[in-house]
Amino acid sequence: MPEDGPPKIGVLALQGDFLEHAGILRKLGVEPVEARILEDLEGLAGIIVPGGESTTIGKMMVSSGLLDGIRSFFYKGGPVWGTCAGMVLAASATTGPRQPLLGLMNALVERNGFGRQVHSFETELDVEGFDEPFTGVFIRAPFFEDVGPGVEVLSEIDGRVVAARGENILVTAFHPELTDDPRFHELFLREVCGIHERS
């Protein structure tokens, strides 16, 4: 990690709630970088693919070159966190209509698995490794219908996977950036990116 400043974490800024992620990252002492073009991936310690509309984000990632760029970043060991639409994009397959996918996690995703906008809800989640429940904010949320080898399930609702991680990837079906609880951001920085608090 360079010594001349805080680590840089990219937030895909094509569409969706990237500003909320950036605000939490700043509070945790890292520098958020709004990623819109391929060159924005250079020098990043990790990247977040935020919530939004997964089909729209996927098409914009294709046209900007960021779909292949983030894949390359990931397969070279770069940490990735997908929230809501980002969880859809991270999956290897979807039950819904065909759309561009990053295919970073061996999982089958159900888009809008918990219903449409009017079915949005909040619930307390038991999360592997957390001492206290985490408030999950679900907005047109997906879930993983099935996961393959190498995927560690962190949280479920009625057997439906809503948080999981792999070697250098984290996914959440909900929106931690819409809460005041930084534990998932801390988890991503510490355990996925390998960024430790500076004394």
Model confidence over 25-43: pLDDT tens digits? 999 999 999 999 999 999 9
Is residue 183 within 8 A of residue 191, CB to CB? The reply is no
Predicted local distance difference test score (pLDDT) of residue 119: 63
What's the fold here for domain 8-192? Answer: Rossmann fold (3.40.50)
Q: Which tens digits make up the pLDDT trace of 105-159? A: 999 999 878 866 656 899 999 999 999 999 999 998 999 999 999 999 999 999 9
Letter string b/e over residues 18-33, b meaning 16 or more CB atoms within 10 A of that residue's CB: bebbbebbeebebebb
pLDDT at residue 1, as a whole number:
43
Q: Is 193 a catalytic residue?
A: no
Catalytic residue among 20, 110, 177, 193: 177
Of 21, 110, 175, 193, catalytic: 175
What integer pLDDT is reported at residue 117 of this predicted model?
Answer: 63
Mean pLDDT for the stretch of residues 100-105: 96
Catalytic-residue membership of 191: no
Which H helix or E strand runs over 26?
helix 18-27
pLDDT of 3 over the 80 cut: no
| Residue percentage of the chain with pLDDT more than 70 | 94
Question: Residue 2: pLDDT band by 50, 70, 90 thresholds?
Answer: very low
Mean pLDDT of 55-80: 96
Q: What does pLDDT average to over the chain?
A: 92
Structure confidence at residue 144 (pLDDT): 96
* Other residues' Cβ atoms within 10 Å of the Cβ of residue 34: 14
- In this prediction, residue 113 carries a pLDDT of 81
Measured CA to CA, the distance from residue 197 to residue 199 in angstroms comes to 6
Band of residue 17 on the pLDDT scale cut at 50, 70, 90:
confident
Question: What is the band of 97 on the pLDDT scale with cuts at 50, 70, 90?
Answer: confident
Question: Are the C-beta atoms of residues 141 and 161 closer than 8 Å to each other?
Answer: no
Domain boundaries in the chain?
Answer: 8-192
pLDDT of residue 115: 67
